[in-house]
């Protein structure tokens, strides 16, 4: 370890040293003090590891003001030298890797030649095109490292929008029961979540160690530290502390209620502002992920034809559509998702939850089927069916003959079209057997131009509707098959968990209502057992009555268990298989408060019910605010984009053929005399050449590239909308499973209709 590092550790105060040790709360509650070293954040560990190995990289490093505040706020044991070493290391390593990749590209790939054609001989422009992406990547990585602490601090501040009402609510709940600030802080630290709750725990620990003389002093320091990021939290802490000195209970209650209202109003305003701020970035995401590809699908082939650059080359189109645009879109979407305030976290359902079918099993009626067999069957039937339709059509041509009309026309082969048209399946061959080759040689076309001319004539010939040999049935069938495989896999591996999750979420909603009934019975000095029995009988149709309160009563009456064991026993407790943190935390609070008396428990339940209702309002409010944006994004990605992409994919073939025909006429505006100086003197051949068509993607390649892009687009947009509405992985997987086949089907149907309108596709 470097001497400077050792010196920093030796100069730390006892409070700072003990502050790096945390107490496991569960063990602490059980009476056992289990000391564990505070986990080091991976970024901090990375910076420290780099500095240990290359200390010279961090020499003289200093934090800027933003990163300094962020590191102090996050309480990271990170020095400026360690941070500077990580930044320098990232710069040097990423630059070396970039140079090596560029070296490999120039030696072993055709990319420089393709880029050189785009640059059209302009000096150093091809080098610029190759170097600039790597240069941008290097600067992005360095900037990512240099801004990481500030981004992490910002992320914690965003989370605080949710945790602030919860923590303040717990403090107010405790203060209403017992006007003791220390107890309120301990209660909030025990039941709260997030960094604020951890700061409360550390504040208690620091006060016990003597870092602060009193807990009130520690609370002031915490309030001012958080005040930079959450003004409402700072004000709420001050109001809660001030409520202690109120001389009447009514005034104290009024101040506490007003504090909670102000916090909720402030959070609601921030949620609304977040939703408004989300509107413009979401529109940009739509432009980047949907509108830009729709424009490029026509612009690139046309631009390639006129600029004589290989912009419509299949490799370039694949790179743009299936790598660059999706990559930029997903990065932008993740940035927007990270800005979302965390509200409600749905319960996580484990694989071994009781009632779930075994893994890889699919429920059919009252039986189970192996899902892997179903997926394999769909894959085999889909591929074989696609091949059959591609070669035979529907009805099969081996039954009705080649000359009869079909509902689905089989895919024409190259040999068949050339035989019917020229009576020569080798018409475009570069040999004496090729009819066009002999014709061009006979016309005296230079030998070095013959190949380009033949490839041009061949591409234009097969782009015409009557000569189209694209294997539509095969490609469409495979796309639909893959989408159905994704559907069966994602849907049936998650739908059973989602149903359980929905049931647990329904129980949480019912639980919030039942708290009022429990509190009212205990408020009449009734024991908790009678209150639970009453709510079970009063709400007989609620799932919570049977699956929670009923099981608690059975454990108490039939097994003679005490209340805490009846609820939390690991083998027989009512919450044994319940993954809801909301219900578990509330029942823990109920059990703890009952030991203080039924009146205290009744007041605690009323306060808790208000707290849960307020949290539910915040969550529903955010959903409503973003619903317009997410609804538009879903519609665009599932219906509008596939329709437009289907139409434009069909149109691009017509556009290319039309351009070639205009260029073949060698002149535009024949009604004006040549040499008049008008537009008639401008020939398309001034901009267009045979070579420009050599690299344009075929219709088949276009369809495959666009089909892959639609799959990526649906994934990104459904991921974005699901995460913005509700941070629920199960919901995202099920939505993606349902919407992907719809989007692919819309694209396929649109292309089929477009081809009928533009030259015939289904009917022979």
pLDDT tens figures, 344-380: 778 888 888 888 888 888 888 888 899 999 999 999 9
171 exposure class (CB count in 10 Å sphere: 0-12, 13-18, 19+): buried
pLDDT digits (tens, 9 = 90+) for 238-260: 888 888 887 788 888 888 888 87
Q: What is the pLDDT of residue 38?
A: 63
* Chain Cα centroid distance, residue 303: 34
Q: What is the pLDDT of residue 375?
A: 94
How many residues does this entry show for the chain?
764
Q: What is the pLDDT of residue 668?
A: 40
Contact 293, 325 (CB under 8 A): yes
- Residue in the block written with tokens 């009130």: 216
Q: What is the pLDDT of residue 490?
A: 93
The ranges of the chain with pLDDT < 70 are 1-38, 112-129, 160-162, 305-310, 596, 662-694, 759-764
Largest CA distance in the chain: 112
Q: What is the pLDDT of residue 733?
A: 92
Q: What is the pLDDT of residue 420?
A: 85
Q: What is the pLDDT of residue 15?
A: 39
In the Cβ-directed half-sphere of 458, how many Cα atoms lie within 13 Å?
Answer: 25
pLDDT digits (tens, 9 = 90+) for 101-160: 888 887 777 776 666 655 555 555 566 667 788 888 889 889 989 889 988 888 777 776
Q: What is the pLDDT of residue 635?
A: 84
Q: Which two tokens stand for residue 39?
A: 């986990």
The residue among 604, 592, 539, 542 whose CA lies nearest residue 567 is 592
730 exposure class (CB count in 10 Å sphere: 0-12, 13-18, 19+): buried
Q: Which two tokens stand for residue 517?
A: 């009934």
Is the peptide bond between 128 and the residue preceding it cis, with omega within 30 degrees of 0? no
Q: What is the pLDDT of residue 676?
A: 38
The residue among 648, 653, 67 whose CA lies nearest residue 640 is 648
Contact 233, 226 (CB under 8 A): yes
- Residue in the block written with tokens 């639980």: 511
Q: Cα(first)–Cα(last) distance of the chain, in Å?
A: 79
């Amino acid at each position: 370890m470097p001497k400077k590092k050792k010196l920093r550790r030796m100069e730390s105060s006892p409070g700072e040293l003990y502050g790096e040790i945390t107490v496991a709360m569960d063990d602490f509650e059980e009476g056992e003090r289990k000391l564990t070293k505070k986990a080091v954040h991976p970024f901090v560990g990375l910076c420290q590891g780099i500095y240990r190995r290359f200390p010279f990289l961090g020499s003289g490093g200093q934090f800027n003001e933003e990163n300094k505040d962020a590191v102090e706020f996050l309480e990271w044991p990170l020095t400026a030298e360690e941070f500077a070493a990580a930044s320098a290391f990232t710069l040097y390593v990423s630059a070396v890797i970039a140079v090596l990749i560029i070296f490999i590209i120039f030696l072993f790939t055709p990319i420089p030649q393709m880029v050189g054609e785009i640059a059209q001989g302009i000096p150093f422009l091809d080098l610029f095109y190759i170097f600039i992406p790597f240069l941008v990547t290097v600067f992005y990585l360095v900037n990512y490292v240099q801004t990481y602490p500030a981004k992490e601090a910002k992320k914690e501040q965003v989370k605080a929008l949710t945790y602030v009402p919860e923590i303040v609510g717990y403090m107010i709940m405790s203060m209403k029961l017992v006007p003791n600030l220390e107890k309120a802080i301990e209660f909030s630290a025990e039941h709260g979540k997030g960094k604020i709750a951890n700061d409360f725990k550390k504040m208690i620990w620091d006060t016990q160690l003597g870092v602060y003389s009193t807990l009130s002093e520690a609370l002031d320091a915490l309030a001012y530290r958080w005040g930079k990021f959450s003004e409402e939290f700072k004000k709420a802490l001050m109001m809660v502390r001030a409520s202690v000195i109120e001389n009447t209970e009514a005034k104290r209650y009024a101040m506490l209620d007003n504090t909670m209202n102000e916090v909720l109003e402030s959070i609601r305003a921030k949620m609304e502002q977040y939703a408004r701020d989300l509107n413009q970035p979401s529109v940009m995401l739509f432009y980047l992920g949907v509108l830009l590809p729709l424009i490029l699908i026509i612009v690139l082939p046309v631009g390639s034809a006129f600029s004589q650059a290989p912009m419509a080359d299949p490799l370039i189109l694949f790179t743009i559509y299936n790598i660059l645009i999706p990559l930029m879109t997903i990065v932008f979407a993740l940035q927007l998702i990270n800005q979302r305030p965390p509200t409600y976290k749905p319960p996580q359902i484990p694989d071994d939850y009781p009632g779930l079918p075994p893994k890889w099993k699919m429920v059919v009626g009252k039986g189970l089927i192996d899902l892997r067999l179903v997926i394999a069957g769909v894959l085999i039937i889909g591929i074989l069916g696609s091949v059959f339709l591609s070669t035979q059509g529907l009805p099969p041509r081996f039954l009705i003959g080649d000359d009869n009309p079909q509902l689905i026309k089989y895919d024409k082969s190259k040999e068949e079209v050339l035989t019917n048209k020229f009576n020569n399946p080798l018409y475009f061959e570069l040999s004496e057997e090729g009819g066009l080759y002999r014709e061009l040689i006979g016309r005296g076309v230079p030998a070095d131009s013959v190949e380009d001319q033949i490839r041009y004539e061949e591409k234009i010939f097969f782009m015409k509707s009557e000569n189209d040999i694209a294997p539509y049935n095969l490609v469409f069938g495979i796309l639909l098959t893959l989408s159905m495989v994704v559907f069966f896999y994602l849907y049936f591996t998650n739908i059973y968990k989602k149903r359980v999750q929905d049931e647990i979420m329904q129980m949480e909603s019912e639980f919030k209502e039942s708290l009022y009934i429990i509190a009212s019975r205990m408020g009449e000095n009734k024991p908790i057992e009678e209150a639970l029995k009453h709510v079970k009988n009063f709400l007989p149709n609620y799932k919570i009555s049977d699956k929670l309160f009923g099981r608690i009563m059975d454990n108490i009456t039939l097994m003679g268990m005490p209340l805490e064991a009846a609820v939390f026993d690991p083998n027989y407790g009512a919450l044994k298989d319940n993954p809801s943190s909301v219900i578990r935390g509330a029942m823990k609070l109920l059990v703890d408060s009952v030991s203080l008396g039924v009146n205290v428990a009744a007041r605690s339940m009323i306060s808790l019910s208000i707290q849960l209702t307020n949290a539910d309002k915040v969550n529903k409010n955010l959903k409503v605010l973003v619903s317009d944006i997410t609804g538009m994004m879903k519609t665009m990605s599932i219906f509008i984009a596939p329709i437009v992409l289907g139409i434009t994919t069909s149109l691009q073939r017509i556009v290319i053929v039309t351009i070639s025909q205009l260029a073949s006429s060698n002149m535009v505006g024949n009604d004006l005399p040549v040499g008049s100086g008008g537009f008639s003197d401008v020939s398309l051949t001034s901009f267009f050449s045979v070579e420009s068509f050599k690299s344009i993607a075929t219709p088949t390649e276009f369809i495959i590239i666009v089909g892959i892009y639609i799959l990526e687009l649906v994934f990104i947009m459904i991921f974005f909308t699901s995460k913005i509405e509700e941070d629920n992985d199960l919901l995202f997987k099920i939505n993606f499973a349902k919407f992907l086949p719809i989007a692919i089907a819309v694209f396929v149907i649109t292309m089929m209709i477009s081809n009928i309108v533009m030259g015939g596709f289904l009917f022979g």
